[in-house]
C-alpha cells in the first residue's frame, strides 16, 4: 500500500495557492496599469499632445480573463478598446501604446502602424523583411485593426476558417510554421452596439454554418455612444436575439454564454473550458459580457454625462470592474489592502514613466530637425536685406521657441523662408535640407501602399507565353479550367471558394470537375454573402494561404466593397509593411445584356481599392498570366474576367502555368499611325472591329490594351504612341467620368500627353445609367462599333 507524504501534499497545495495568488495579482496589476493608461491618455489628448483618444477603460477585468487562454498560434481580430488584452497577452507595451497615441512614425516605437493609425489599433508581423512567412504557429498574432465598427468581423471568419482548413486538408499539414493541426482559435471582440451592423449577422451565420473555431467576445456597456441598447437590439439583448443559433445535438450553430464583466472568477471559470472546447471541436462561440462600464465615456470627443442618468452613473461607479475585483481579492484573503495600494501606486508611476519615454522618443527627432534648420535659417537671414532678413529671423526664433514642434511646422518654416528668399543661390543649403526632409517624411507617411521588395508583383520576372506548332484552340473557359487544374496540382497553398464555385465548378465552368479532384476543402461553395466571402479570403491570406475568393459578378462587388476598401487594400500600408495579405479576388463583368450582370463600375473600384492591383484581362489566356504573376507576389488583387469571353476561341499556351503578364505595362494590340485608342477588357473587341472598318477609309488606328488599371502604364507607353499619332481616345464601359477620366488624367497630365495633341482628346463611355436590358439596351447603353467609328472620323476631320 502506497503512503502519502503529508508534507509534500501541503507543499504542493501551497505552491498551487501561491501560483494562483500571483496570477490573480498579476491580472489586477495589469488591469490597474491599463486603467491608468486610459486616464493618462485622455489627459494627453486634452492637453494637445495627442490628436484623438479612444480607450478600453471598464473592460480591463474581462480582457485579462480572456487573455489567460490566448495561446501561441491564436489570432486576434478586434477593435479599438482591446488595450488590456494586448498588455495581458504580451503583444503590446504601455510605451508602445503611447507611441501610437502620439502618432510616432518610427516603426521601432509604434510597431503596430508606425503612427499611421489612431491609438489602440494593433498589429503583429506576419512576414519578415523579405516577405517570407513567419512562424505564426508559435507566436501570438493579431490582425491589424480597423476603425469602422464591425469591420473586424469578416476577417475574423477567415482567420478561424484557416484553422479548419489546416486541420482537414492533407496538403496543408506540411506547413507546421503556419498552424499546429488547426488548433488555433480566433479571438474576435466587438462592442454590443456594433452587433447591429450587417457584418456581425452575416459572419455569425457563416461561422455557425461552417463550424470554425471563432470566439466572439461582445462587450456590453449598454450604449452605442449615446443610444441605449434597447434602441439597438431586438429584445435589448444580443444573446437573447441569437438564441435560435444556439447549437444543439445534431445541428450546427454556436455556443452562447452570458457573463458579467466585473466577475473575474466567474469569467475565468467559463472561459477556460469554453475556449478549450472551441479549440478541440471547432464549434464557434459567443461570449456576451454584460454590465461593462465606461468610466470616461465613449471617447475624448464627448462626455457621457450628457446622456446617462445620475442613477446609471452611480451604478457604473459602484460596479466598476477594478473596484469589484479589488473587493473580491480582499474577501478571499488573496492580498492585504496595503499590497493592493502598492500595486495601484506603482501602476500610476509606471504609466507616467512609460508615457514620458514614448513622448521623448517621439519629440527628440523633431527637435533635432529644429536644431538642424535653425542655423540654416539664421545663415540665410544674414544674406538677405531689410524686411526679408527680419522675416526669416523671426521664423527661426518662432521655430526655436516651439517646445512641442510638429514635422509639418519645420517644413512650413523652411518653405516660407525659401519663398521669402526667392529660392536663390544663397538659399541652396536651406533648400537642400528642405528637400531632404520632404523625401524623408514622404517615406514615413506615404510608403508601403504595395509591397516594395522582392515580393512586389511589379518585380516578378516576365515570361512570354509559348505556343507550339500544334497548340490547341479551345474555349476561354477551358483555358481557365486547364490552368486552375495545373495550379492546384502544383501549388499546395491555393484554395478557391465562392458562390457555386465548388460542386458545379463556377457558373462559367472555370473550376468544372476540380472539386472532385482536389477536395471540397480546397475548392468549395459558400452562401450568398459576398462581404464575408471577402473576409474569408483576407483571413486565409493573413495566415499564409493563397486564397482565390470569387464574387460571381462584378455588379455584386458592392456587397464586399467595404471590407476590401477599409481592410484588404490598406493592410500593407497601415502596418507599414509588417503585414501582407496576398488575396486574389476573382470576378467577371462587362457585357451580358442585363441590367444587373453587365456592370463595369471601374471608377468606383480604382478609387476605393488603392492598395490592390486591378487587372482587366481581355481574354482568359491573359487572365491566366496575371494569376501567375500575382501568385508569385504578396500583393492583393482584383482580376475581372470578361463575361462574354468564356466561349470565344483562344490558343492554349504550352507554358500555361509558367508565363507571366507584367502589371502596369500596356500592350500594343495593333500598330497604327493616325490615332491612339486606349481601352481594355471586352471593349477591346469592339475597338478592333471598328479599327478594321476605319482602315478601309484610310485611317490607321494604334490600339492599346492597358491590361491593368492599377498600376497604370508605369513606363509611359501610351504617351509614346501619342507622340506618333497626335490623336487619342479613351474607351471603356464605365459611366462618364469613370475609368476613362482616370486614364485621361494619367496620360494627359501625369505623362504630359497634352503637348503632343493635334486635336482635342476624346473619351467614349457607357451612359450614366445602368445598362438597359436586351441586345438593344446593350447597344444604346454602352459603346458600340459605330460610336468608335464616328468619333475617330470626327477627330480626323478636326
**pLDDT tens, 489-534?**
999 999 999 999 999 999 999 999 999 999 999 999 999 999 999 9
CA 223 to CA 227: how far, in whole Å? 5
**pLDDT value of position 7:** 61
**pLDDT value of position 301:** 74
CA 86 to CA 67: how far, in whole Å? 8
Residue 750 near residue 573, CB atoms below 8 Å: no
Residue 213 near residue 191, CB atoms below 8 Å: no
Kindly state the cell numbers that stand for 30.
495589469
792 pLDDT more than 90: yes
**pLDDT value of position 10:** 67
pLDDT band at 11 (very low <50, low <70, confident <90, very high): low
234 pLDDT more than 80: yes
Q: What's the first-to-final CA gap in the chain, in angstroms?
A: 111
**pLDDT value of position 306:** 87
The residue with greater pLDDT, 223 or 2, is 223
**pLDDT value of position 250:** 92
Q: What is the mean pLDDT of the chain?
A: 95
Closest-CA residue to 534 (of 553, 517, 559): 559
CA 726 to CA 720: how far, in whole Å? 10
**pLDDT value of position 179:** 98
**What CA dihedral angle connects 172, 178, 182 and 187, to 10 degrees?**
-140
Closest-CA residue to 110 (of 97, 126, 121, 129): 97
pLDDT digits (tens, 9 = 90+) for 404-431: 999 999 999 999 999 999 878 888 999 9
CB atoms within 10 A of CB 171: 17
The residue with greater pLDDT, 153 or 54, is 153
Over residues 213-231, mean pLDDT: 93
**pLDDT value of position 562:** 97
Helices (H), 407-499: 407-421, 428-446, 476-490
CA angle 662, 498, 165 (to 5 degrees): 95
CA 203 to CA 213: how far, in whole Å? 13
pLDDT band at 1 (very low <50, low <70, confident <90, very high): very low
pLDDT digits (tens, 9 = 90+) for 758-776: 999 999 999 999 999 999 9
445 pLDDT more than 80: yes
483 pLDDT more than 50: yes
5 pLDDT more than 70: no
Buried residues in 130-148 as b, exposed as e (16+ CB within 10 A) = ebebbebbeebbbbbbbee
**pLDDT value of position 299:** 78
**pLDDT value of position 6:** 52
Query: Which are the contacts of 95, defined by CB distance < 8 A and separation ≥ 6?
Result: 109, 354, 355, 357, 358
Over residues 333-345, mean pLDDT: 97
CB atoms within 10 A of CB 437: 17
Residue 146 near residue 192, CB atoms below 8 Å: no
Whether this prediction's pTM lies above 0.85 is answered by yes
pLDDT band at 599 (very low <50, low <70, confident <90, very high): confident
384 pLDDT more than 70: yes
**pLDDT value of position 563:** 97
pLDDT band at 303 (very low <50, low <70, confident <90, very high): confident
Percent of the chain beyond pLDDT 70? 98
**pLDDT value of position 584:** 98
Amino acid at each position: 500500500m502506497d503512503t502519502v507524504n503529508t508534507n509534500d501534499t501541503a507543499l504542493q497545495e501551497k505552491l498551487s495557492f501561491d501560483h494562483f495568488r500571483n496570477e490573480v495579482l498579476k491580472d489586477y496589476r495589469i488591469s490597474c496599469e491599463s486603467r491608468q493608461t486610459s486616464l493618462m491618455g485622455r489627459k494627453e489628448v486634452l492637453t494637445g499632445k495627442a490628436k484623438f483618444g479612444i480607450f478600453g477603460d471598464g473592460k480591463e477585468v474581462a480582457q485579462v480573463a480572456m487573455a489567460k487562454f490566448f495561446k501561441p498560434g491564436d489570432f486576434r481580430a478586434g477593435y479599438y478598446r482591446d488595450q488590456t488584452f494586448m498588455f495581458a497577452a504580451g503583444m503590446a507595451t504601455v510605451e508602445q501604446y503611447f507611441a501610437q497615441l502620439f502618432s510616432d512614425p518610427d516603426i521601432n516605437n509604434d510597431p503596430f502602424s508606425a503612427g499611421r493609425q489612431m491609438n489602440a489599433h494593433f498589429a503583429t508581423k506576419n512576414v519578415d523583411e523579405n516577405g517570407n512567412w513567419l512562424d505564426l504557429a508559435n507566436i501570438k498574432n493579431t490582425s491589424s485593426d480597423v476603425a469602422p465598427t464591425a469591420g473586424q468581423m469578416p476577417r475574423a471568419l477567415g482567420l478561424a476558417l484557416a484553422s479548419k482548413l489546416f486541420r482537414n486538408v492533407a496538403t496543408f499539414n506540411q506547413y507546421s510554421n503556419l498552424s499546429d493541426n488547426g488548433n488555433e482559435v480566433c479571438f474576435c471582440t466587438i462592442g454590443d452596439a456594433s452587433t447591429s451592423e450587417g457584418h456581425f449577422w452575416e459572419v455569425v451565420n457563416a461561422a455557425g454554418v461552417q463550424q470554425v473555431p471563432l470566439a466572439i467576445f461582445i462587450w456590453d456597456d449598454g450604449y452605442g455612444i449615446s443610444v441605449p441598447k434597447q434602441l439597438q437590439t431586438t429584445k435589448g439583448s444580443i444573446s437573447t436575439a441569437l438564441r435560435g443559433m444556439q447549437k444543439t445535438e445534431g445541428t450546427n450553430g454556436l455556443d452562447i454564454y452570458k457573463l458579467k464583466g466585473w466577475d473575474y472568477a466567474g469569467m475565468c471559470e467559463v472561459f477556460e473550458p469554453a475556449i478549450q472546447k472551441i479549440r478541440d471541436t471547432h464549434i464557434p462561440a459567443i461570449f456576451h459580457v454584460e454590465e461593462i462600464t465606461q468610466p470616461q465615456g465613449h471617447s475624448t470627443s464627448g462626455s457621457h454625462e450628457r446622456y446617462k442618468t445620475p442613477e446609471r452613473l452611480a451604478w457604473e461607479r459602484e460596479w466598476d470592474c477594478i473596484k469589484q475585483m479589488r473587493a473580491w481579492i480582499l474577501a478571499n484573503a488573496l492580498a492585504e489592502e496595503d499590497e493592493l495600494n502598492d500595486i495601484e501606486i506603482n501602476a500610476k508611476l509606471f504609466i507616467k514613466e512609460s508615457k514620458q519615454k514614448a513622448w521623448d522618443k517621439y519629440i527628440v527627432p523633431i527637435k533635432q530637425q529644429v536644431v538642424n534648420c535653425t542655423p540654416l535659417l539664421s545663415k540665410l537671414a544674414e544674406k538677405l536685406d531689410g524686411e526679408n532678413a527680419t522675416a526669416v529671423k523671426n521664423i527661426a526664433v518662432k521655430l526655436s521657441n516651439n517646445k512641442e514642434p510638429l514635422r509639418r511646422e519645420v517644413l512650413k518654416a523652411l518653405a516660407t523662408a525659401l519663398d521669402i528668399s526667392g529660392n536663390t543661390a544663397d538659399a541652396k543649403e536651406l533648400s537642400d535640407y528642405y528637400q531632404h526632409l520632404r523625401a524623408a517624411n514622404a517615406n514615413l507617411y506615404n510608403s508601403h501602399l504595395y509591397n516594395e521588395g522582392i515580393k512586389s508583383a511589379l518585380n516578378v520576372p516576365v515570361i512570354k507565353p509559348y505556343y507550339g506548332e500544334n497548340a490547341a484552340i479551345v474555349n476561354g473557359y477551358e483555358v481557365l479550367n486547364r490552368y486552375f487544374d495545373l495550379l492546384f496540382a502544383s501549388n499546395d497553398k491555393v484554395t478557391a471558394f465562392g458562390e457555386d464555385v465548388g460542386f458545379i465548378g463556377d457558373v462559367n465552368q472555370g473550376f468544372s470537375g476540380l472539386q472532385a479532384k482536389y477536395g471540397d476543402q480546397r475548392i468549395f461553395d459558400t452562401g450568398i454573402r459576398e462581404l464575408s466571402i471577402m473576409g474569408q479570403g483576407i483571413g486565409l491570406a493573413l495566415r499564409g494561404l493563397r486564397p482565390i475568393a470569387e464574387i460571381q459578378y462584378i455588379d455584386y462587388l458592392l456587397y464586399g466593397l467595404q471590407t476590401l476598401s477599409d481592410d484588404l487594400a490598406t493592410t500593407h500600408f497601415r502596418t507599414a509593411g509588417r503585414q501582407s495579405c496576398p488575396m486574389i479576388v476573382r470576378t467577371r463583368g462587362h457585357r451580358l445584356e442585363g441590367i444587373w450582370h453587365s456592370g463595369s463600375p471601374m471608377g468606383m473600384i480604382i478609387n476605393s481599392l488603392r492598395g490592390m492591383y486591378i487587372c482587366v484581362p481581355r481574354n482568359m489566356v491573359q487572365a491566366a498570366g496575371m494569376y501567375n504573376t500575382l501568385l508569385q507576389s504578396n500583393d492583393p488583387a482584383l482580376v475581372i474576367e470578361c463575361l462574354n469571353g468564356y466561349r470565344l476561341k483562344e490558343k492554349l499556351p504550352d507554358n500555361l502555368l509558367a508565363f507571366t503578364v507584367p502589371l502596369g505595362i500596356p500592350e500594343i494590340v495593333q500598330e497604327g499611325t493616325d490615332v491612339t485608342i486606349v481601352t481594355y477588357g471586352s471593349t477591346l473587341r469592339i475597338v478592333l472591329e471598328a479599327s478594321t472598318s476605319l482602315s478601309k477609309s484610310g485611317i490607321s488606328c494604334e490600339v492599346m490594351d492597358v491590361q491593368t488599371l492599377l498600376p497604370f502604364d508605369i513606363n509611359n507607353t501610351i504617351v509614346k504612341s501619342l507622340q506618333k499619332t497626335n490623336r487619342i481616345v479613351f474607351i471603356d464601359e464605365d459611366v462618364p467620368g469613370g475609368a476613362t477620366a482616370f486614364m485621361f488624367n494619367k496620360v494627359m497630365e501625369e505623362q504630359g500627353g497634352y503637348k503632343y495633341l493635334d486635336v482635342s482628346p476624346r473619351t467614349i463611355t457607357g451612359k450614366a445609367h445602368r445598362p438597359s436590358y436586351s441586345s438593344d439596351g446593350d447597344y444604346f447603353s454602352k459603346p458600340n462599333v459605330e460610336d468608335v467609328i464616328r468619333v475617330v472620323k470626327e477627330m480626323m476631320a478636326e
